[in-house]
Amino acid sequence: VISIPLPFFGGIGGASKCGILVKGGNYLEALSKTGVAVFDKTGTLTKGVFKVTHTTPADGVTEADLLESAALAESFSNHPISKSLREACPGLDAKRASDAQEIAGHGVKTQVDGHTVLAGNARLMAKLGLTVPDVPQTGTIVHVAIDGRDAGYLLIADVVKPHSAQAIKGLKQAGVRKTVMLTGDAEPVAKTVSAELGLDEYHAGLLPGDKVDQIEKLIAEKRPKENLAFVGDGINDAPVLSRADIGIAMGALGSDAAIEAADVVLMDDDPAKIALAMRIARRTKGIVYQNIVFALAIKAACLLLGALGIANMWAAIFADVGVMVLAVLNATRALYTKDLVKKDKLD
């Protein structure tokens, strides 16, 4: 009775010290059997924050002028892309921009310092009769035109979390057989992120319902006695988190629905903690087996010796109380995770 619950309590406590909230011993045991890890992209493997990653001004235009014109043109919009442009060019006086017009599905048209600035996609440039170059990089392209002339373009992309690659590597080292990414983003973006992180498989252009369908397929394909873990953060991920064998949510910026539906919550949104959680789960399970084997072996030996008239009362007390005390002391080992954290950092 004591040999099994106490190590799980210790494992849950040790995981919580590392910022990993496990909602029960059964989920800790399920985590130890994870063979397939499936990730949402935005907010899980990436920061979910758009950032200007590249600027290409046209001839006669400086990078500063291009960025400033785009930021002022988008200064009236609350779109995440517009926000990323303003953040890339802080301290601008929004009063320099006026008469902003949003062109649905194309971009914006704004008067900046008396000049007409248009910022948007290639379709917007085509309406002006401007030919824009094909951009090989993946991400959102914002083309800029000033007074009807091409001024260049900016590349805006979601930034990959610094520990995401380490997380995938750590899972491979922890024994995860397959890593998969599910995203609603376009194929080129998904392919780039997947290649950068070393994922085994990815599926792009998915709606929330499509993600559930993909999880069903992956569950059907997994090996016997192997669990599938899904890692997500958004409200749209809640159905998938519930359907997976083990649902893991991002706790810092994740939605309340995702946290409620998940079995494990990473409080600092660090995907690298998943491999650490698996190591904690596997060591906890090992301690449980140690306690069971030790307790049963000692009691069996005492019963045999007692039947032969060799064991006395002190042997019986040791087989009962003594084994219980040793099982409790062994279970406390699950609380200490410093060695696992250190190994995780070294890896």
Tell me how far apart the alpha carbons of residues 51 and 303 are, in angstroms, rounded to a whole number.
70
Q: Which residues are catalytic?
A: 40
Q: Quick one: which H or E segment has residue 264?
A: strand 264-266
Of 192, 183, 182, nearest to 139 (Cα)?
192
10 Å CB burial of residue 20 (0-12, 13-18, 19+) is buried
Could you say which DSSP state residue 162 is in? Answer: T
Q: How far is CA 246 from the centre of its chain?
A: 14
Q: String of b and e for 256-276 (b: at least 16 CB within 10 Å)?
A: ebbbebbbbbbbebbbbbbbb
Burial class (CB within 10 angstroms; exposed 0-12, middle 13-18, buried 19+) of 84? buried
